[in-house]
Amino acid sequence: MSLKLTQYAAISSEKSLSSEKHILLVLHEKVEKNMPFAKILDNKLKRSKSEYKDLNKTPITVELPNGGVASFVVLGKKLKLFQKHTLLRKAVKPLLDEQPEALAICVFGDETTKETNACAAYYVATVNVAELPSRKKDKKIKPLKAINVYGYKAAHDYDYVNARVAGNTLCRSLTMLPPNELTPTIYREKVKKLAKQYGWAWEEFDMPKLKKMGTGAFYAVGQGSNPLDAAIVHLTYKPKKSTKHIALVGKGICFDTGGHNLKPAKYMQGMHEDMNGSAVALGILTAVTLQQLPVKLDCWLAIAQNHIGPLAYKQNDVVKALNGMTIEIVHTDAEGRMVLADTLTLASRQKPDAILDYATLTGSMAVAVTDRMSGVIANREELACKAIEAGDAAGERIVAFPYEEDMDSDLDSDIADIKQCTLEGGGDHMHAARFMGKFIENDVAWLHTDLSSSNRKGGLGAVQSDVNGFGVGFGLEMIKSLIA
Ligand SMILES: [Zn+2]
């Protein structure tokens, strides 16, 4: 996507906007003197029996005398970025639905307000015009070609925002691909191409290699596929200068049937999106690379499918993980923690300062926090606190759950060192974290994100597509916070 950005420091007037046909006016609590189209807005508010301050909850779109269209939204100072993103998404949608060539964004208020709101509006606009996979033969998209910002001139040219949009778009595009277009074989080829494009070091552990290494947990899931195309892919971004070393880990189940514990149709629907965690990790890696952030990043993708078949793993199988622990299989649909277990061991053996993993892991997380937010669990309390702040800074809501040792007794097995999960009671998202924590070596600090909000009907926060790339913005802020 090539988008021309023009910035005008001067506050917009009706005259300066005369050639604009699609205008987003981002206002603040006080009514701006000489606000463009004030009369038209006033009439519309009167007609709908609402007031200026209601634009803080419901944006309004009006037709302009020149045949153009304008949306008005008020972003109150007290609003969190998530709420601002949501309001901006609603305000800009009627404008973007017309597939304009140019979009004008007008910001008002003091310098800080203008900067925050211009960045938020620019993000919401650009993330929602990104091209996403579609296989409809008559779907024609006219791309947005220009954004004109009035009222604030940023020295940064929105480089950070553009990087985030690129990461988010990559994440969504991969996640939306139908499963026959993103098998592990195809996914691995795509990742290899990305590595070349961005200059990442690339290495792959395929199934024969993994068997030799003894990654029995990962292998148990991969063995059910024909061809045996599961693999752990390892990418590295290494800038000239870096103060910290962080590892990203992502769950990349290209399709999850549930295995022998087969999912019913209603729950198998959409299971090609079970690789979203790996796409989030790739999105973060891409955004960090585009910004050339001074951090060494390792990225570990656990790519496989969870199939049913004569060679697929079964309930009560006992397998031995890379770290030597034996695992009793309890539910073949809990494959995410299996592929992640060995991947976390590999990541932790390099002793990074922190591991951040991303996975669409449990149904119980969605039960706990719905699809409006995602949950995190960390083996360090301060990491969980940082995560909530990073989520706030990104406009992606994060809820922290405890990591309590006494839950381990629920995973006691009669035959192996540990049970994969339990069939009793709730809290599977916390059991999953306790399980995965056992495979981290060298006591590396670790934050696990269970992406319950990866897909929300009608969009979430800034993003209007159901698959919303949640986690890329949060992960970026998390890395910025860790290297600060
Ligand atoms: Zn599953």
Q: How far apart are CA 92 and CA 22, in angstroms?
A: 9
Residue 257 tokens read as 């049937």
Q: Which residues contact 484 (CB under 8 A, 6 or more apart)?
A: none
Query: 212 C-alpha vs ligand 1 centroid, how far in Å?
Result: 25
**Which residue has 């990043």 as its token pair?**
297
- Cβ atoms of 228 and 336 within 8 Å: the answer is no
Residues less than 5 Å from ion ligand 1, measured at CB: 256, 333, 335
C-alpha to C-alpha distance for 150 and 25, rounded to whole angstroms: 9
Q: Is 128 helix (H, G, I), strand (E, B) or coil?
A: coil
Q: How far is the CA of 463 from the centre of ligand 1 (A)?
A: 26
Peptide bond just before 264 cis, omega within 30 deg: no
- Residue 275 Cα to ligand 1 midpoint, Å, equals 11
66 three-state secondary structure: coil
Q: What is the CATH number of domain 163-483?
A: 3.40.630.10
Q: How many CB atoms lie within 10 A of CB 5?
A: 14
The CATH class of the 4-156 domain is: alpha beta
Is 470 in contact with 460 (CB distance < 8 Å)? yes
CA 436 to mean position of chain CA atoms: 21
What phi and psi, each to the nearest 5 degrees, are found at residue 421? -165, -175
Contact assessment for residue 336 and residue 284, using Cβ atoms and an 8 Å cutoff: no
Say if CB 273 and CB 251 are below 8 A apart.
Answer: no
pLDDT score for 193? 98
How far is ligand 1, taken at its centre, from the CA of residue 135, in Å? 27
Distance 362 CA to ligand 1 centre (A): 8
Residue 146 identity (one-letter amino acid): A
Nearest to 276 by CA among 403, 449, 430: 449
Predicted local distance difference test score (pLDDT) of residue 1: 56
Tell me, in angstroms, the distance from the centre of ligand 1 to residue 268's CA: 9
End-to-end CA distance of the chain: 31
Ligand 1 centroid to Cα of residue 186, in Å, is 21
Single out the catalytic residue among 84, 172, 188, 337.
337
Q: Mind listing the pLDDT tens digit of every residue in the chain (484 residues)?
A: 589 999 999 988 999 999 999 999 999 999 988 899 999 999 999 999 999 999 999 999 999 999 999 999 999 999 999 999 999 999 999 999 999 999 999 999 999 999 999 999 999 999 999 999 999 987 778 899 999 999 999 998 899 999 999 999 999 999 999 999 999 999 999 999 999 999 999 999 999 999 999 999 999 999 999 999 999 999 999 999 999 999 999 999 999 999 999 999 999 999 999 999 999 999 999 999 999 999 999 999 999 999 999 999 999 999 999 999 999 999 999 999 999 999 999 999 999 999 999 999 999 999 999 999 999 999 999 999 999 999 999 999 999 999 999 999 999 999 999 999 999 979 999 999 999 999 999 999 999 999 999 999 999 999 999 999 999 999 999 999 999 9
Under 8 Å between Cβ of 259 and 312: yes
Ligand 1 centroid to residue 332 C-alpha, Å: 7
Is 319 strand, coil or helix?
strand
In angstroms, rounded to a whole number, what is the distance separating the alpha carbons of residues 131 and 126? Answer: 10
Q: What interhelical angle do 184-198 and 159-176 show, nearest 10?
A: 160
Ligand 1: centre distance to CA 306 (Å) = 7
Query: CATH 3.40.220.10 occupies which residues in the chain?
Result: 4-156
- Domain limits, CATH 3.40.630.10, in the chain: 163-483
* 263: annotated active-site residue: yes
Q: Is 419 a catalytic residue?
A: no
pLDDT tens-digit profile of 217-259?
Answer: 999 999 999 999 999 999 999 999 999 999 999 999 999 999 9
331 CA to centre of ligand 1 in angstroms: 9
List, as one string, the DSSP characters of 324-391. Answer: S-EEE---TT-HHHHHHHHHHHHHHHT--SEEEEEE---HHHHHHHGGGSEEEEESSHHHHHHHHHHH
Expressed in angstroms and rounded, the spacing between residue 300 Cα and the centre of ligand 1 is 19
How far, in Å, from the CA of 206 to the mean position of ligand 1?
21
Q: Is 16 exposed, middle or buried (0-12, 13-18, 19+ CB in 10 A)?
A: middle
Catalytic residue among 153, 190, 263, 320: 263
Kindly give the distance from the C-alpha atom of residue 256 to the centroid of ligand 1, in angstroms, as a whole number: 5
Ligand 1 center to 262 CA (angstroms): 9
pTM: 0.97
Question: What value does the CA radius of gyration of the chain take, rounded to a whole number of Å?
Answer: 24
DSSP assignments along 235-301, one per residue = EEE--SS-SEEEEEEEEEEEEE--TTSPPPHHHHTTGGGGGHHHHHHHHHHHHHHHHT-SEEEEEEE
Cα(277) to ligand 1 centroid in Å equals 13
Whole-number Å distance, alpha carbon 263 to ligand 1 midpoint, is 8
